Amino acid sequence: MDFLDFLIKSKKNTYASSKITDKLNKDGSKELIFEENEYKYVDRYFGYNPFSGLEVVFRQDEYIWSMSYYGRIKSNEVSEKEVYSFLKQALLNVNENFPLRGPSVFKKEDLSKTYHSGFFKDADMSKISKDALKRGKTQVGTLGQGNHFIDVLEVSKIFSKEVSKQFGLLKGQLVIML
């Protein structure tokens, strides 16, 4: 089994699955673990609304990949239970094209999840305040509401040839991390 297949299977068999229960840790975090062959996936998260967490994959007990996440529900028009149920269903549809958080588009009844590739085609520039435009003139960009970052890095060491190949990473390559 390769890394990407394992990652997809992990997501479908942990948070999105009704078969697994969270392990409650002393610090209040919850943890989901999925293991198969030489791989181990751990998803450790805090909170419910808002929530944040970290997913980590190990191969033969060596760390090879991680992703952190954060989210909150800002609407009172739909219950938290409905939102989390919907997100679990979206995660059950995770695929190779969008292996991190489910498919690019997922709809059920009046709820939808859409991946926007960092932009919204119907965005209205007239809604941006003068202060934001002024501030933006001297910045390369603004990321989210202060909880995002951008970093330009050089790949100095390959820890897993399999993972680096799947992500197209080469030693000495410059990459942008968001």
Residues 98, 154 within the same domain? no
Q: Which residues pair with 108 in a beta bridge?
A: 111
Residues 2, 69 within the same domain? yes
Residues 55, 133 within the same domain? no
Question: Over its length of 178 residues, how does the chain's per-residue pLDDT go in tens digits?
Answer: 788 899 989 988 988 887 777 888 899 999 999 999 999 999 999 988 888 899 999 999 999 988 888 877 777 777 788 877 777 887 787 777 666 665 555 556 655 545 444 445 566 667 777 776 666 655 555 555 445 556 677 888 888 888 888 888 899 888 877 6
Q: Which residues pair with 112 in a beta bridge?
A: 107
Q: What pTM does this model have? A: 0.60
Residues 111, 128 within the same domain? no
Cα-based distances in Å from 26 to 3, 22, 32, 46: 31, 13, 15, 12
- Domain count along the chain: 2
Residues 92, 17 within the same domain? yes
Residues 134, 111 within the same domain? no
**Strands annotated E in the chain:** 23-24, 30-36, 39-47, 51-59, 62-71, 105-108, 111-114, 151-154, 174-177
Tell me which residue range forms the domain holding 60.
1-115
Domain boundary residue, one of 96, 115, 134: 115
